[in-house]
Amino acid sequence: MARAQRQTGLDAPRGRSGMLAPRTPQPSRDRFGRFTEWVARAMGTPIFLLSLTLFCVLWMGWNSLMPEELRFDSAAIGFTALTLVLSLQASYAAPLILLAQNRQDDRDRVQIEQDRQRAERNLADTEYLAREIVALRMAVRDLTDDVITKESLRAELKAALERLDEHDASEPRTATP
C-alpha cells in the first residue's frame, strides 16, 4: 500500500505530492539584472533629465536665495555638496548602465546564434527542396517521353491495321475444301 502511494508520488512534480516537501519560492537570481536595465531605461528618458535639471535648479536656488541660516550648501565654494551628490549618482549610474548593456549584448549574442541556426536550417531545407524539385522534373520528363497518349495509340493501331491489311492482301487466297 505504501509502495503504491510512493509510485504515484514519483510521477507528480515536486511540491505537488505529500511525499516531497514543498519548495519555498526563491528570489530570482536575475532581479539585480532587471534592476540595472530599469535604471538604464529610466536614465535615458526625458523625464529623468528634466527631473535632474529641476533638482539641480532647486538646489542652487535654495542655497543661493534663502537666508544664510537655511542654506546647507554654499554657493561661494561652488555647491560642493551638489557636486558630490551628482558625482555619487554618476558613479553608480555608469556601472549599472554597463551591466545593462552587457545583459543586452548577451541577449543579442543568443539571438544572433539562434538566427544563424535558423538560417542554416532554412538553407538546408531550401537545398533539399531544390533537389526534390529537380528530381521530380526529371521524373516527369522521363514519364512524358514514355507516356502513351490517345493519339499515339491510335496512330500505332492504324499502322498495325494497315500492315495487317497489306499482309492479308499480299497472301494468295487458297480455296478451302
- pLDDT of residue 102 exceeding 70, the answer is yes
Rounded to an integer, what distance in angstroms lies between the CA atom of residue 70 and that of residue 38? 36
- pLDDT of residue 174 exceeding 90, the answer is no
- Point out the least confidently predicted range of 2-11, 35-44, 117-126, 132-141: 2-11
- DSSP assignment letter at 20: S
Virtual torsion, Cα 143, 147, 149, 153, nearest 10 deg: 170
Domain coordinates in residue numbering, the chain: 29-130
Q: What is the pLDDT of residues 60-78, one digit of tens each?
A: 999 999 999 999 998 888 8
Average pLDDT, the chain: 83
Q: Are 17 and 9 in contact (CB under 8 A)?
A: yes
Give the amino acid at 122: N
For 109-170, give the DSSP string.
Answer: HHHHHHHHHHHHHHHHHHHHHHHHHHHHHHHHHHHHHHPPPHHHHHHHHHHHHHHHHHHHHH
pLDDT of residue 143: 72
Segment 22-41 mean pLDDT: 77
Rounded to an integer, what distance in angstroms lies between the CA atom of residue 85 and that of residue 58? 14
Cα-to-chain-centroid distance, residue 127? 22
- pLDDT of residue 21 exceeding 70, the answer is no
Segment 87-105 mean pLDDT: 91
pLDDT of residue 145: 67
pLDDT of residue 27: 62
Virtual torsion, Cα 165, 166, 167, 170, nearest 10 deg: 120
Short-list 23, 4, 3, 26, CA closest to 14: 23
